[in-house]
Amino acid sequence: MIFKAITIQFMIKIQRLFVHEMLMPNAEEKKPDAQPMIPIIVPFPTWDDWVAECIAGCAELDYPDVEIYLLPDEPLPTDRAEEARRLAKGRAVHILPTGRGNPAQKRNVALRASSAPWAALIDADAFPRADWLKNATAEATEEVGIVAGPNITPPNDPLSRQISGLVMRSALGFGAGYIRHYPVARHEIEEMPTCNMIIRRLPDLFFREEFATAEDMMYCRDTRERGYKIIYSPEVVVFHHRRTFPIQFARQFFFYGRDKGRLTARGHSSARLGHAMPAGLLLYAIATLVFALIHPLPLWWLLPAAVYAVAVVVESVRHAHTPLLALCGLLGFPVAHASYGYGYLRGLPIGWRERKQ
């Protein structure tokens, strides 16, 4: 009986070896598909040079299989559609007019049109580094729902945009979110913006279309609630043009602050005490000006202002690559904080009303 059992086991091993080596000679080489087809979703209202630059950047990706989804408000003129396909250099281009809508609405149109297991999100005023998707898919393990990385100011942007970039890559200017614009070590995070985000397609998960600028936060929260991680990699890089300083820049920070205040008032889990600090700084500045007109201020009252001024100087010098940019940073930080703080205060009553509904 023992000899018979040994003989049977030996024959089974011989059969398995025959199947493996003779019938399936490449079985050891088969691996899970590490580079799935990925649609790149680009929302924008109308065609401009940055859209063209974005398409051209996507065409140069060191990644074998991508499709580009363009989401304008209206159908592109024939010459623009032809230019888009020419810039794509053989990559498939899908043009899906959406009508007027915010980025969340536009991205959802593309997500519903594609059945790919992953999707790459980028803004129309950004363009990827050549290894963007190759590095992102290397992070796409089973427990990962989103891969993201820094969006960096293009080095050839003009001074008016470099000022904005200086503020945004500083922790003083952008809080903990500065890693969105400045590469740091790989780690798990809670949220990242959609200008550089590679997402796993999850059943019935889309962007919250009622949010104009905080839809990325909500999507990240929804992904984490489904048990998936969000991974930040400093090697998943796009270059992102900044708003011009000061008007567009101030407007952008106002909307950031408004939506943060709105979410805080609604009791959103992502709300942090630090989000309210620019609003507190703005109220302090207003109080200082008012009280200074009434009575001389004591030195202790001016201590926070002195600390803030030193911090602004240090960060301006640390993040600037020219003396002129450092000098401009002295104005950039106060504009950012005042705009954000005012937006935050405006967002609080909106959130309170929504919470009562």
- DSSP-derived 3-state class of residue 90: coil
User: Do 75 and 203 share a domain, yes or no?
Assistant: yes
pLDDT at 15 over 50: no
In a domain, 169, yes or no: no
Say how far apart CA 61 and CA 120 lie, in whole Å. 12
How far is the C-alpha of 191 from the C-alpha of 204, rounded, in Å? 20
Same domain, 225 and 342: no
- Find where tokens 């999100």 sit: 121
- Does a structural domain hold residue 1? yes
Cα distance between residue 69 and residue 87, in whole Å: 13
Q: Do 24 and 2 lie in a common domain? A: yes
Write out the residue range of the structural domain in which residue 2 sits: 1-30
Residues 109 and 209 in one domain: yes
| pLDDT tens readout for residues 302-353 | 999 999 999 999 999 999 999 999 999 999 999 999 999 999 999 999 999 9
Quick one: 119 and 232 in the same domain? yes
Assigned domain for 180 exists? no
pLDDT number for residue 34: 62
- DSSP-derived secondary structure for 1-57: -HHHHHHHHHHHHHHHHHIIIII-TTGGG----SS--EEEEEE-SS--HHHHHHHHH
Residues 323 and 252 reside in one and the same domain: yes
Q: Are strands 144-148 and 196-200 parallel, antiparallel or unpaired?
A: antiparallel
Q: What is the pLDDT of residue 20?
A: 33
**pLDDT tens profile 110-125:** 999 999 999 999 999 9
